[in-house]
């Protein structure tokens, strides 16, 4: 199959490559760029472990072709600092990437808004409480609170 030339910014760095038109963004990121933070979790686009930020929107990279990201800006977990809010860590990349976009769109979300905002990302081992707390902490820190204030 003929390959297509793509260029994009990934985590702030310009990249270019040749990809088959059918290559999913998740496979491009993991296999060609060695960015293994986004995970392949369910093969059905339900779990959110593959979530990345593409041109200012959270997307499940298992549903986007790499050629669709041509000329765009992609942010993966590798480009975002993390707060501890999970147990096994499998969902962490998708959760943090989704939280990143949520806080860009709504810097001071309520608990209900956070829960709604991460509803498309599944965690297999927590009740989401620590994840919600971590996002609340990040929101407080981003709005200028000290670590102590943010933890309260």
The string of pLDDT tens digits covering residues 60-74 is: 999 999 999 999 999
Q: What does the DSSP assignment read for 11-67?
A: TTEEEEEEE-TT-BHHHIIIIIS---SS----SSS-S-TTEEEETTEEEETTSSBGG
The string of pLDDT tens digits covering residues 109-133 is: 999 999 999 999 888 877 788 889 8
**What mean pLDDT is reported for the chain?**
89
Q: Give the range with max mean pLDDT: 30-39, 75-84, 136-145.
A: 30-39
3-state SS class at 145: coil
- Architecture label for domain 92-151: Orthogonal Bundle (1.10)
Q: Please give the helix or strand (H or E) that residue 7 lies within, else none.
A: strand 4-10
In this structure, what token pair is assigned to residue 113? 């808004």
For the chain, domain boundaries:
4-79, 92-151
- What integer pLDDT is reported at residue 150 of this predicted model? 65
CA–CA gap between residue 135 and residue 123 (Å, rounded):
15
Q: Are 29 and 61 in contact (CB under 8 A)?
A: yes
In this structure, what token pair is assigned to residue 28? 């491009």
- Residue 86: pLDDT over 70: no
pTM of the model: 0.66
**CATH code that applies to domain 4-79:** 3.10.20.30
CB atoms within 10 A of CB 32: 15
């Amino acid at each position: 199959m003929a390959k297509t030339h793509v260029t994009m910014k990934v985590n702030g760095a310009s990249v270019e490559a040749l990809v088959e038109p059918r290559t999913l963004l998740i496979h491009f990121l993991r296999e060609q760029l060695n960015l293994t933070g986004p995970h392949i979790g369910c093969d059905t686009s339900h779990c959110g472990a593959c979530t990345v930020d593409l041109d200012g929107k959270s997307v499940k990279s298992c549903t986007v072709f790499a050629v669709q990201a041509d000329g765009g800006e992609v942010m993966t977990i590798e480009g975002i600092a993390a707060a501890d809010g999970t147990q096994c860590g499998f969902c962490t990349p998708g959760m943090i990437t989704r939280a990143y976009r949520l806080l860009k769109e709504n810097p001071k979300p309520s608990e209900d808004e956070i829960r709604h905002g991460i509803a498309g990302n599944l965690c297999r081992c927590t009740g989401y409480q620590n994840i919600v707390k971590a996002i609340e902490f990040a929101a407080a820190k981003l709005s200028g609170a000290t670590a102590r204030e943010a933890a309260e």
